[in-house]
Structure 1
Amino acid sequence: MSEEKVYVVKENSIADPSTVGLASFGIALFCLSFVNAGLVGAGSIGLIIATALICGGLVHIMVALWGFLKNELYTALVFGTYGAFWTIFSLFQLGVVLKWFEVDPGMMTIFFIAWTIFTFFVWVATLATNTAVIIVITTLLIVFILLDLGLGQLAGYLGIFTALAALYTSAAGLLNTMFGKQVLPVGGPLIK
């Protein structure tokens, strides 16, 4: 007589992927923002490229896939699209370092404007999430606007704050889940 094996798949058995995404975003943006703010030299670009490609690109794309599996459109869209941003950015920086091409300032402005437009409609959707995520996306939107205006150093300083806000939000997701209670508050949505 043979035994049948029964496998039970628990609905939504995948942990909240946004916690991972916010941590990797915070790390990538934190490192890049120190360069933009002029607090570290351009000699750190190799580490920035690697961090952007892995934390910003690869991990965000993985988070997006987990978001799709959980049927979380916001998580899938935001992290998948920003994963593309970080991948493009890191490959572009690699090309500049290796002198594959020159930087066209006009095209860089267009690139940042495109991401500002995307970040704006993400920001509108974010108003239905929680206060911590709203702070992250609001300040990220301002970072992109500053980059559009050619104010990279100021964008760098605000980027450091944005990165810390993302890391806080990730920490809240982890600690609140692990302890089964609110350890770090994230606040509620502005719009329901």
Structure 2
Amino acid sequence: MSDTENLKLYERPSSRPTKIANPGSLGLFSFASTTFILSLYNVNARHITTPNVVLGMAVFCGGLAQLLAGMWEFPRGNVFGATAFTSYGAFWMSFAVILIPGFGVGAAYSSTEEFEQAVGIYLITWFVLTVMLLIGALRRNLSFIALLFFLAITFLLLAIGAWTGKTAINKAGGGFGILTAWIAYYCGLSELLVKGESWFTLPLGTIKQE
């Protein structure tokens, strides 16, 4: 049996039968695409410095689609996947709220420096959550461990970049974000390529359970 059959990406057998299809690819592709776009902006690709075009992706793709993927994981009995997808779906929605002028988040601060310090605290909180999820993934598969590891580094660098105001650190966070996005694409494609329906499958790197 392939890695995909043996371990459906951080998924454990449901406690009861379900007809809900595996939402893993939807959640991972949504996360990857939104992360990839924002990370390109963070490295100033095409000389872009304003990230607001990502708002639509953050609300509907990385946000709503990933949130729904998390909700569908719960009845499948996959608590880890449900927690991860729902959490990061909420992350993208909350991130969009920060950037949408109508919510007045940025305008509420007396200075840009104070706003950046607040954003740094926001990002470091997601770093902490990602590390906790990483601990929970240590006996699942190598691909998802790599995904969460590089995502944690991304959040850490972006938080430090917000606190220090150093563009180079923010760009480094963008670089790690691009790497994270491509790992998520790989994991999502592995979930999509099911034996019997695809010409080939992609291994996730199963970790032996003692």
Under TM normalisation by the shorter chain, which class is it? 0.7 to 0.9
Q: Does 1:117 align with 2:138?
A: no
Q: Residue 167 of structure 1: CA displacement?
A: 0.6
The equivalent of 2:12 in structure 1 is none
Q: Equivalent of 2:138, from 127, 150, 169? A: 127
Equivalent residue runs for 1:6-21 within 5 Å:
11-21=17-27
1:138 to 134, 149, 153: 149
2:102 counterpart of 1:84: no
Gap runs ≥5 in structure 1: 1-9
Q: Which residue of 2 aligns with 1:26?
A: 32
Relative to the length of structure 1, the TM-score reads 0.85
Name the CA distance, whole Å, in 2 between partners of 1:134 and 1:100.
34
CA RMSD between the two structures:
2.3
Match in the other structure for 2:183: 165
Greater Cα radius of gyration, structure 1 or 2: 1
CA contact 1:176–1:184 (8 Å) conserved in 2 = no
Aligned counterparts, 1:22-101, within 5 A: 22-40=28-46, 41-43=48-50, 45-95=51-101, 101=107
**Deviation, structure 1 residue 161:** 0.9
Q: Which amino acid aligns with 1:148?
A: A
Superposed CA deviations along residues 113-156 of structure 1, whole A, max 9, x for unmatched, are 11111111001011122111111111101101111221211010
Shift of 1:57: 0.8
Task: Return the alpha-carbon distance in structure 2 between the equivalents of residues 11 and 180 of structure 1.
Answer: 24
Q: Identity across aligned pairs (percent)? A: 28
Q: Note the residue ranges of structure 2 that are not aligned, 5 or more in a row.
A: 1-15, 162-168
Q: Secondary structure at the match of 1:179?
A: coil
Q: Which moved more, 1:68-77 or 1:102-111?
A: 102-111
User: C-alpha distance in 1, partners of 2:191/2:150?
Assistant: 19
- Could you tell me how far 1:95 is from its partner in structure 2? 2.3
Indicate the SS of the match to 1:129: coil
TM-score when scaled to structure 2? 0.79
Give the ranges of 4+ consecutive aligned residues of structure 1 lying more than 4 Å apart after TM superposition. 96-100
